[in-house]
Structure 1
Amino acid sequence: MRQALWLLQLGTPSLPTPSSVSKYLKEFLMDPRVIDIPWIARWLLVHGIIANARSGKSAKAYQKIWLPKGSPLRVYSEKFRDELQSILSSQEIKVFLGMRYGSPSMRESLDQIRSDGFDRILVVPMFPQYASSSWGSAMERVYKLLAREINAPSLRVIPAFFDQPEFINAWANRIRAAEYQNYDLVLFSYHGLPERHMKRCADSCLQSNGCCDKLNIDNQFCYRAQCFETTRRIQQILHLDDSKLATSFQSRLGRTPWIKPYTDELVLTLLNQGKKRILVCSSSFVVDCLETLEEVEIRLRENFITAGGEKLEMVKSLNADLDWVEGFSKIVERHKFLK
């Protein structure tokens, strides 16, 4: 049975230039699931302030990490698609890649899926943990695009895979390879979100200090709780003592409260506690991108060393490494259409 596997990624500017970055930021930040304020206020904020203020600075950041073939996120995502295709070809599955923002767009990739004659589509947002602003936004776009189809295809969706053994083992393998025993602490740094996004997921979110300590039916859609669950599962595989790890959140934007603790502040607190050698694992990403390569590997490291730290290293993401590609193919196998 022929079926399409539709991989959905966040997206990236096409070039590391202020104009390209500005175009990307406008598309990204005008998404009401990303900045959840009334349209006119969002338009004025994004077009009048953020895009103009950040495009130049962000373009310089992209220039530091840009690869000969383009943006790391796109290069690694395309390589992952191609490597996965080589494994899944025997199962009559063709793999497609679409970007929520930027190119290749989800519209373009869906058009290719349909022109190739597929009427069964297996969709997977490539965000390990569920967040309305990433996973939810991608799926909302899927449903809107398919709603325009006269002959709507059959659809199956692979859920967030933050707790799947293939994902957990892939990260554990990388942390082992980085020789985590030689560090004072392993820091699991996840992408941050505004606190108000968490509170909209469940009434219990952020109502107590320990509300994310255990994943349960009340917080099952809480991004922060899923991040802590990912940390716990990797910890179990590596037999890491609680004193040898921490979890934090990066990439905050604006003045509104974001989920805590903040990565940039926590590393300095840890340094004051004598943690001079830190290994950082950004396990809310499956490919290296601006947030890992520039924010963590360059900027966070520089700030830590400047403050007196001895060493801060980042574990490279899963990218298109063979063990992750093979592991992900097993996730696909569990969710694909059956004959």
Structure 2
Amino acid sequence: MSIQLTSESRSILEATLFSAVSHISNLNLSLDDGSYPVIPAVTLWVMEKSEPSLMSDVDERGLRDHLMQLLEEYRRLDEHALSPRKRLWYDNIALHHNERAPFRLEFHEIAEAFYQSGFVATDLFREIFDATADDLFNHFEEGNVIEWGDPEPASSTGTKAGLESESVPVFDHYKAYWDADQYPKDLEPLDFAVKLLVDDLGRMDDGRHEDFWTTVDSSVVVSWLERERSTLHGILTERNCIDRLHNIVVSYVASQCEVEHWWASLGYPLRYSMRQHADSREVVSLIAAVLEVNDVIDRIGPEEVYDMFCRRHVLPNVTRVAPLRETISSTGKRCRVERAR
């Protein structure tokens, strides 16, 4: 049975669904490959920040519940359309099941899933989706002219070139991160060595190179200590701690490689929106939503991804004076440490 809505309310829902799917499509295009999962709560947050007038119309007419229903049904449609390709992909690469399937949905596949596959939907969704299908098809076609993985230079803020805004972000994540905690005093030589090395890596992880951690050679990192801190290196050698130091650095770099993967998987449109419009609590919550839908939140903490987001969140004209750095101690406990002056 069709839901009774005024023509004006129906038009608002059509515009809102089109906007929501457009944002989802843009997130898809921000990835080198694969499909961005549809996360209604994240999509709604992005729309509230990027389409305030439209969302005001939604709320004034009491349409938010209808909108959430539409977003949830679109999530199910996207999942329904993607499932056959995912099954085919994983059936053929059983030995590489951890790889992300390197494809994204075309709109004709979503439309076929909607019109031809017996997808179960409410009358409201069928009516609104059908009314926006042609415009959505055109939007997807415009997006397809972008080559997957086409490199774009990252700016010093860790966002794609051309996305800079003159508006002042509501929260300075960079400053809040570096101002957070003081590092423990009287560190043992091994802990202090780890602090120095990870601190140096942290200074380089500023967002200019989005795959920074995959380029780090742990042996080269440890050899820096021998060249630049020979006395400390000598103490560690006498205590037979060099192998332990190397293992700690290897472990830390490996963990950051995985964090870097999920930082990238947020998509630069979401990262940019969070940079402009979200405080730390909101960012962690949004990151958690992305990790949860990807079933990795038990392995990767949202705070770890947030830490990288902060490091790569350099605002224009920021003066870097004795910032705080994150490291990992010899016991594996994460702490923040101050850069050696």
- Output the TM-score relative to the length of structure 2: 0.28
Greater Rg over alpha carbons, structure: 2
Per the normalisation by structure 1, the TM-score is 0.28
Of structures 1 and 2, the one scoring higher in RCO (CA 8 A, sep 6+) is 2
Comparing both structures, which one devotes a greater share of its residues to strand?
Answer: 1
More helix by share: 2
